[in-house]
Amino acid sequence: MSLTERAEHTFGGGWTEIKLNAVSDYLNFYTRALQARPSPANPFETWYIDAFAGTGDRTVERHAGSLFTPGPGVMERVRLEGSARRAIAIDPPFRHLAFIEKDPNRFAALESLKTEFPNRDIHCVQGDANDELRNIFTSGPWVQSGRSGLQRAVVFLDPYGMSVRWDTLRQLANTQRADVWYLFPLHAALRQLSHNHTALDAGKRGALNEVFGTADWEEHFYNFNVPQTNLFDFTAAATPARSADPDKVERFAAGRLKTIFKFVSEPIPILTRHKLRQFSLFLLSGNPQPKAISLITKGVTAQIKKYGRQSLPLHRVR
Ligand SMILES: C[S@@+](CC[C@H](N)C(=O)[O-])C[C@H]1O[C@@H](n2cnc3c(N)ncnc32)[C@H](O)[C@@H]1O
C-alpha cells in the first residue's frame, strides 16, 4: 500500500466545498492585497498556517455517471484538493506555509508535499494544533526583531469538533497579525447542551467552558426560574429548562469571540446534506488598525454574500 493510499482522507460533503471555497477565495484576495503593502520594495511576509491540515487531499464518493460508466448506483472515489493543496496553489503565493496535523499517517502525506513542491517554503509539524500554534507564534520570526513587524498570517482552524481551546483563540487575537478562519463547531456545542440539565456532567461542562471561554453559558442557555410543579413538595427542585437553539448558540459564540477579537465577521453557515447546521464559519482578526480592518471587511464581504445567510433554510436543529 502506497503512502497516499494509506493516508486517504475521506471527510465532509458538498458543504465541505463551500467551506474550502470561502477560505480559498479569501486567500486569493489576501495575497493579492498584501503583495505591495506596506510598500512594494518591502512587502509583508505572508504565512498560511493550517492547524488541522489533514493530508492535502480529500477523497469523496460520488455517483459515477459518464458515458463510459454504468448509470446510477455505481459509486466512484474521487480525489479533490484539500485545504493544504489549495493554499499551495494560491497566486500570488504565500511566502511560507505551515501545516499542522496530529495523525501520523496524514502527517506523512503532508510531508510528501515538500518533495512535490521543492521550491516552496513548506513546514510540516506533527502535533496538537493548540500546542503547535503556540510554538509557532512564540518563536522564530514572530518574536525576532528586524523584519518581524512584517509577518502576517492567515490561520485556518478546521477541526472535526470542539478541539480549539479558548487560550489558542486569545493568543491568535493577541498577535494582532493573524486573520483567523474558525470553523466554530455549532452542532457539537448544541449537543453538549443537553435538554436534561441533570445530564450536564463535568465532561460536558469542561468542553463547553473551553469552547466558549467562560462558564456563563449555563445561565444563558438554561432557565433557572422554572416554577415549581409540585405545590406540596417544597424539597422537589424544579429542573432548569434549556433554551438553546442554533441561532442562540451562534450569537453567544459570536459575542464571546468579540470579547477577544477586534473583528468578527458574520458567520457563514455550513450545512450538511440534510440541512443540519453543523458549523458556523467565522473570519476573525485581532488587528486594531482601521486600515487592516477595512481590508479584511472588503475581503470577507464577497464570501458572506456568496455563501452566507441566504443559503440558510428555516429548519431548526434541536
Ligand atoms: C476536518 S479535517 C481537516 C481537513 C483539511 N482542512 C482539508 O481541507 O483537507 C481535521 C483534521 O484535523 C486532525 N486533527 C484532529 N485533532 C487534531 C489536533 N488536536 N491537532 C491537530 N490536528 C488534529 C485530523 O486528523 C484531521 O486530519
Widest distance between CA atoms in the chain: 81
Q: Is the pLDDT of residue 209 over 60?
A: yes
Average pLDDT over residues 76-82: 89
Whether residue 111 has its Cβ less than 6 Å from ligand 1? no
Query: Domain-by-domain residue ranges, the chain?
Result: 3-195+247-311
Q: Is the pLDDT of residue 19 over 80?
A: yes
Number of residues that this document lists for the chain: 318
Give the pTM. 0.90
Contact 94, 103 (CB under 8 A): no
Cα(287)–Cα(272) distance, rounded to whole angstroms?
32
pLDDT at residue 146, rounded to an integer: 53
Average pLDDT over residues 248-260: 98
Q: Which fold has domain 3-195+247-311?
A: Rossmann fold (3.40.50)
Average pLDDT over residues 13-17: 80
Question: For residue 62, what pLDDT band results from cuts at 50, 70 and 90?
Answer: confident
Dihedral over alpha carbons 84, 88, 92, 93 (to 10 degrees): 100
Q: Is the pLDDT of residue 72 over 70?
A: no
Cα(137)–Cα(123) distance, rounded to whole angstroms?
14
Cα(299)–Cα(23) distance, rounded to whole angstroms?
10
pLDDT at residue 314, rounded to an integer: 40
**Atom number of ligand 1 nearest to Cα 11:** 1
Residue owning the nearest CA to atom 26 of ligand 1: 54
Whether residue 158 has its Cβ less than 6 Å from ligand 1? yes
pLDDT at residue 1, rounded to an integer: 44
Give tens-digit pLDDT for 220-241: 999 988 765 666 665 556 788 8
Probe residue for ligand 1, chosen from 52, 134, 155, 160 as the CB with the greatest number of ligand atoms within 8 Å = 52
Average pLDDT over residues 51-66: 84
Average pLDDT of the residues of the chain: 89
* Unique residue bearing C-alpha cell 460536558: 204
Contact 54, 82 (CB under 8 A): yes
Bond into 40 cis (ω within 30): no
> How does strand 241-242 pair with strand 222-223?
antiparallel
Residue owning the nearest CA to atom 2 of ligand 1: 54
Of 313 and 211, more confident: 211
Question: For residue 106, what pLDDT band results from cuts at 50, 70 and 90?
Answer: very high
pLDDT at residue 240, rounded to an integer: 87
pLDDT at residue 77, rounded to an integer: 82
| Residue 182 half-sphere exposure toward CB, CA atoms < 13 A | 32
Cα(234)–Cα(140) distance, rounded to whole angstroms?
63
Give tens-digit pLDDT for 125-170: 999 999 999 999 999 999 876 555 899 999 999 999 999 999 999 9
Helices first, then strands: H and E counts in the chain: 11, 12
- Collapsed DSSP state (helix, strand, coil) of residue 56: coil
> How does strand 121-126 pair with strand 241-242?
unpaired
Whether residue 134 has its Cβ less than 6 Å from ligand 1? no
DSSP state of 117: S
Question: For residue 206, what pLDDT band results from cuts at 50, 70 and 90?
Answer: very high
